[in-house]
Structure formats: C-alpha cells, structure tokens
Amino acid sequence: MNREGLFEINTRVWLWRLSQEAGKPVTLATVDDAILDDLARRGFDWIWLLSVWQTGAASRAVSRGNPAWQEEFRTALPDLTQDDICGSGFAISAYEVDDALGGKAALAAFRARLAARGLRLMLDFVPNHTALDHPWTKTHPDFYVQGSDYRVETDQGSRLLAHGRDPNFPGWPDTLQLNYAEPSLQAAQMAELQTIAGQCDGVRCDMAMLVLPDVFRRTWGLASAPFWPKAIAAVRDAHPGFTFMAEAYWDLEWELQQQGFSYCYDKRLYDRLCHSDAGSIRAHLGAGLDYQDRLARFLENHDEPRAAAVFPWLRHQAAAIVTYFAPGLRFFHQGQLDGAQVRVPVHLRRAPAEARSADIASFYDRLLATLRTDAFRHGAWSMIAPQSAWDGNPTGQDFVAYAWQSSSGSRYVVVVNYSDHQGQCRLRLPFDGLAGRQFRLVDVMESEVYWRDGGELVEPGLYIDLGAWRFNVFRLDPA
C-alpha cells in the first residue's frame, strides 16, 4: 500500500497572495516553478485545488448581504471589503474554471506541470446543490427539490425551490437543493462528473453522504436510487484509476467506501484527538486496514479551525504524530505547515497576513521528511498495545504506539504520550529476530539515541518514559 500525501490549497486566496507578492496578476498558468518544485520536494502526491469553479452573482450577493456571515468574515479579516467576498466555492454556477484564475487552459497547464513533478490534481465536485443562478434553475427546474425558500423564473414559469441543506441544520441560503429522486438529474450529474474527470486525477466530493438514499429520504422524504456506485464506475470506465475522496460524517465512511470511494474523511479521529483520551484513539485505530487505509487523516482543513489555534503547541505535535503516522491518506492544509491561526471562510478571496511560526514550520519540515521514508510510505503497519511499566502504574494507558516495517527490513516504533502528565509504559515490539542482538534506537524526529538488548524489546518490552504530549519515532538499527 502506498500511503499518499495530499495538500489542500484555497486557490483564490493562494493566487491573490501570489499576485500581491509578484506585483502583477498570477494565474494557474503562471505560478512560479519554484513553488511547484517545493510541493513536490515535501513529498506530497496530491494537490487539491479548492474553489476553482465559477460562482454566480446571485449566490455572491447572498454572501455579501448575510449578516451572520458578515460577522464571521470580519472576524477572519478585520479590514474586509466587499471585493474580498467572491462567493462560496461550494455555490457553483458552472463547472468551468473561473476566468480570474486563468480559465480552462490555465488549469490544464497547471495539471501538466504538476504531473511533470509526479503530482496529481484533485478538484471539487459538489453533488448536493448548485448556486442560485445555475443554468439548470431556468432550463431544468425539475432537477431541484420544490420548496418555499427561493423563487426562480424558469422556462416553465415561476417556481419555488428549496435551499440545499443537510438534515440537521437550516438550508444554505446561497444554494438550491438537487433532487436525486429524479433520474434525469442523476444522469446530468454523471455527465458533470465526466467533464470534471477530464480535467483532473481525482475529485473531493462535498458532503458526499447527503445523496445516499437513506440520508436523502430522511432529509426530503423522497425515495432515490443509489448514485455513487454507478457514477464512480462510469467515471472509472472512462478514466481508469480515477480517485474519489468523500467528505463524510455520521459513521457513513464504510458505506461510502463500499460504494467505490477511494478515501473518506476521518472526522472521528480528529474529534478524538480534540476531546478524548488515548484509549478512545486506540479503539478507533483498531479497525481493519481494509478500512483504515482508505481514510483521510487530517488536523485541519477549510471547515475546521486551525490546528495551531485548537491545540497548544506540545499537544499539536502529539496529535500530528498520531495522525500522520497512522495508515491512510495524509491530508495537510494550506497554512498549517506555517502555523496559521485564522480559518479563512470559503467565501473570501483574501486571508489575513500572519507571521510564520519558526517552531511549527521546523516541526513539519522534519515530519514531512520522515514520512518520505520507504517504511512509512509502503511498509507494514500495526498498533502496539501499551503495557503497564510496573504494577499500579496506570499511565501506560495514556500512550498510542505503532510499529512500521519496510519490505527491506527497516523497522520503526512510533510512540506518543497523549496526556497532560508524565507517563511510562512497556512496548512489546512485534518484530521478528530481535532476541540475542543489540539494537541502537535512533529518534529520527528528535536527537535521542539509546542502545537496547533485543530480548528486552520483546519481553518485558521497550521501556518508555515521556513527558506530557511527548513522542519518539525510533528507527531500530542492529549492532
């Protein structure tokens, strides 16, 4: 299994900043080669360009006039202007590259430049809803759920349509809800997916679980046929190996994987890292690799608060080690590697200027360099159950530990004290051929080096004593 890395970029914010730095407009076609070289050097496999598609004037007007959203925007960007509000990247009026980003030709050139560096391109697909002024609202009002939220003048007369939503919250007022009970809508969406697939190597599907028949029925009281299995199969028939990543919640990740998704968000792990103890994290990571290898592991994304704002610095490091040394897709977000603190709403084209944190940047440089090691990309992973260091010491249960082994025989142990106090444990290493040999344990993320007897590493196990939120990433070198 090749454990891949993905880097999410808010395209409009990114190009605005690059344009300011260059003193001239920068499009996808004119991004400096050195920037792409750096993304490849860091070991990413995927670049997800968020918000490349066109947004309409009607939905943009809602973004600019909604009082609650305005408050959120000003919190992120105190010097906000109306020009900064370009409309949500998920209120899409057409799957055509926005002219301000360079248009379709610029995207194609960008994709080719990524491919030359071994990088693949991921784009958005929003299955649940469209912008208020999508052409279908006039030509195919039957593609939408009829409701009482928004009046449109269609080719068939005036209609009242429903805003897009999930079953737990009010509708998004800059969107209109697509009707998956209508077979012609499903056919049209499959055609849209084919168009997108011709321009990239994978798609991130926004709120993918909302179009599952059970969820759609619960939300709208309408019976629909399954969409994802036939849509994914059709795209892969035309584009073998095409990748689908689902934004997924409500413990529906396995169902979406079974319907064909390559990866699904692992929000459960993120929530446990924020709110729970090591035991709940270990329980979550105890699932089979057929499931775990197809989860996208993250500490932040455009929907979640910034990791540097959520996690105090020591805990931030501990959470990153737990997250990114687990199996699955390693998902990083623009700004995360520099310690950005402000989450930028997807309606904005500009982010505030923030100072780069040298400590956070140095940590992520070391992390990404370590993750490029063959064992962590292609090796065999297993979890190590921490044992009590001595009778009556409960702190062993505060640890999360992994074993990694490459096909060439290199072996690593990753261990984290995921607690706010000093802790000790024993780790019985699951590697063959340890007894009767001496090993040097080298922490490849820090500077610690220890010599240990191989028999001790098996029974009673490697002794670990770590402060609050501290970690080791040991390589085992035989003497």
Instruction: For residue 282, give the CATH number of its domain.
Output: 3.20.20.80
> Quick one: 466 and 349 in the same domain?
no
DSSP category for residue 142: G
**Average pLDDT in the chain:** 97
- Contact call for residues 299 and 265 (beta carbons, < 8 A): no
> Quick one: 352 and 405 in the same domain?
no
**Longest pairwise C-alpha distance within the chain:** 84
**Is 3 a residue whose pLDDT tops 80?**
yes
Which domain, by its residues, includes 411?
Answer: 378-478
Within 23-170, where are the H helices? 33-41, 57-65, 67-76, 103-116, 136-139
Q: Which pLDDT does position 291 carry in this prediction?
A: 97
- CATH at 452: 2.60.40.1180
> Quick one: 183 and 39 in the same domain?
yes
Going by pLDDT thresholds of 50, 70 and 90, the confidence category of residue 444 is very high
In this prediction the pTM is 0.97
Of 361, 390, 404, 374, residue with least CA distance to 461: 390
Q: Which pLDDT does position 158 carry in this prediction?
A: 95
Q: Is 137 strand, coil or helix?
A: helix
> Quick one: 174 and 198 in the same domain?
yes
**Tell me: the pLDDT tens digits for 254-295?**
999 999 999 999 999 999 999 989 999 999 999 999 999 999
> Quick one: 310 and 400 in the same domain?
no
Q: Which pair of structure tokens corresponds to residue 447?
A: 């500077």
Q: State which of 358, 377, 396 marks the end of a domain.
A: 377
Mean pLDDT, residues 438-444: 97
Report the interhelical angle of 183-197 vs 228-238 (nearest 10°).
30
Q: Which pair of structure tokens corresponds to residue 221?
A: 């009281």
Strands 243-246 and 202-205: parallel
Residue 231 Cα to chain centre, angstroms: 22
Q: Which pLDDT does position 178 carry in this prediction?
A: 98
**Tell me: the pLDDT tens digits for 308-338?**
999 999 999 999 999 999 999 999 999 999 9
Strands 120-125 and 46-50: parallel
Give residues with Cβ within 8 angstroms of 345, minimum separation 6: 69, 72, 73, 76
Going by pLDDT thresholds of 50, 70 and 90, the confidence category of residue 2 is confident
Q: Which pLDDT does position 455 carry in this prediction?
A: 96
Going by pLDDT thresholds of 50, 70 and 90, the confidence category of residue 239 is very high
> Quick one: 96 and 182 in the same domain?
yes
Q: Which pLDDT does position 73 carry in this prediction?
A: 97
Of 170, 258, 141, 160, residue with least CA distance to 209: 258
Burial of 46 (0-12, 13-18, 19+ CB in 10 A): buried
Q: State which of 377, 409, 426 marks the end of a domain.
A: 377
**Tell me: the pLDDT tens digits for 79-120?**
999 999 999 999 999 999 999 999 999 999 999 999 999 999
Q: Which pLDDT does position 1 carry in this prediction?
A: 72
> Quick one: 195 and 339 in the same domain?
yes
- Contact call for residues 289 and 236 (beta carbons, < 8 A): no
Residues listed for the chain = 479
- Contact call for residues 5 and 298 (beta carbons, < 8 A): no
Mean pLDDT, residues 344-361: 97
Give residues with Cβ within 8 angstroms of 53, minimum separation 6: 89, 92, 93, 94, 95, 96, 97, 98, 123, 124
DSSP 272-307: HHHH--HHHHHHHHTS-HHHHTTEEEES--SSSPPH
Q: Dihedral sign for Cα 16, 21, 24, 30, please.
A: negative
Q: Which pLDDT does position 351 carry in this prediction?
A: 97
Burial of 444 (0-12, 13-18, 19+ CB in 10 A): middle
> How far is 56 from 151, CA to CA, in rounded Å?
16
> Quick one: 390 and 292 in the same domain?
no
Going by pLDDT thresholds of 50, 70 and 90, the confidence category of residue 247 is very high
Q: How many CA atoms lie within 13 A of 51 on its CB side?
A: 24
Q: State the total domains in the chain.
A: 2
Report the interhelical angle of 278-285 vs 267-275 (nearest 10°).
160
> Quick one: 360 and 419 in the same domain?
no
> Quick one: 202 and 317 in the same domain?
yes
Q: Which pLDDT does position 276 carry in this prediction?
A: 84
**Tell me: the pLDDT tens digits for 140-159?**
999 999 999 999 999 999 99
Write phi, then psi, for 231 (nearest 5 degrees): -70, -45
> Quick one: 304 and 329 in the same domain?
yes
Task: Kindly list the strands in the beta sheet with 462-466, ordered across the sheet, starting from the edge strand earlier in the chain.
Answer: 387-388, 423-427, 462-466
Residues linked to residue 429 through DSSP beta bridges, in sequence order: none
> Quick one: 206 and 309 in the same domain?
yes
N-to-C CA span, the chain: 29
Burial of 360 (0-12, 13-18, 19+ CB in 10 A): buried
Q: State which of 314, 346, 377 marks the end of a domain.
A: 377
**Tell me: the pLDDT tens digits for 30-79?**
999 999 999 999 999 999 999 999 999 999 999 999 999 999 999 999 99
